[in-house]
Amino acid sequence: MKLETDFIEKLAKIINDNGLSELSLEDGDQAITIRKDAPEIVTVAAPQSAVQAPVETAQVQEEEAKKPAQKGKAVTSPMVGTFYAAPSPDAEPFVEVGSEIKEGDVVCIIEAMKLMNEIKSEHAGKVVQICVKNGDPIEYGQVLMYVE
């Protein structure tokens, strides 16, 4: 993905015209995220291949230190959106702590830009922890749950 000024301006226009606060695109090992932090201010993230390690604040490091060590494999979010544990508000959740899942089983839904995306597990095993709550906003790469 070659980042050209015209392309970035078009993405910023899409954000403004549709009342969005953030737009993320991925192409292989490159990604761009544009956020509208304040009126008429747009920030652009560098391609993932150029970023060696995220810069963490002391507060984030403290929160990470408070969390207990996790066992198992992480199921992470492939996109920015809203986490939903069930297919509808009155339905049972796809998985709960203790659920046995197979590789390819749907474990949740992430709503992104009014589209409901089924997230499938890349791991088989038992769900040992669900790290987010129903309706939580989530980020790309955020751990959703652990499977052991």
Q: Are 39 and 104 contained in the same domain?
A: no
Residue 33 lies in a domain: yes
Per the CB < 8 A criterion, the answer to whether 101 and 128 are in contact is no
Asked if residue 143 and residue 85 are part of one domain, the reply reads yes
Structure tokens at 18: 């549709």
Residue 73 domain boundaries: 67-147
> How confident is the prediction along the chain (148 residues), in pLDDT tens digits per residue?
555 677 777 777 787 777 777 777 777 667 777 777 654 444 455 555 444 444 455 555 555 555 555 578 999 999 999 999 999 989 999 999 999 999 999 999 999 998 999 999 998 999 999 999 999 999 999 999 999 9
Residue 124 in domain: yes
How far is CA 48 from each of CA 25, 28, 45, 143, rounded to the nearest angstrom?
11, 10, 8, 18
Do 42 and 112 reside in the same domain of the chain? no
Assess if residue 84 is contained within a domain.
yes
Residues 71 and 21 in one domain: no
Nearest by Cα to 130 from 105, 87, 98, 82:
98
The CATH number for 107's domain is 2.40.50.100
**Residue 60 maps to a domain:** no
C-alpha 119/C-alpha 93 separation (Å) is: 13
Do 79 and 30 fall into the same domain? no
> Per the structure, how many domains does the chain have?
2
Whether residue 57 is contained in a domain is answered as no
Determine the pLDDT at residue 8.
Answer: 74
Asked if residue 88 and residue 137 are part of one domain, the reply reads yes
Same domain, 42 and 108: no
Shared-domain flag, residues 45 and 73 = no
> Considering the domain boundaries, does residue 55 fall inside one?
no
Indicate whether 72 and 141 sit together in one domain.
Answer: yes
Do the domain assignments include residue 58? no
pTM above 0.75, yes or no: no
- pLDDT score for 6: 76
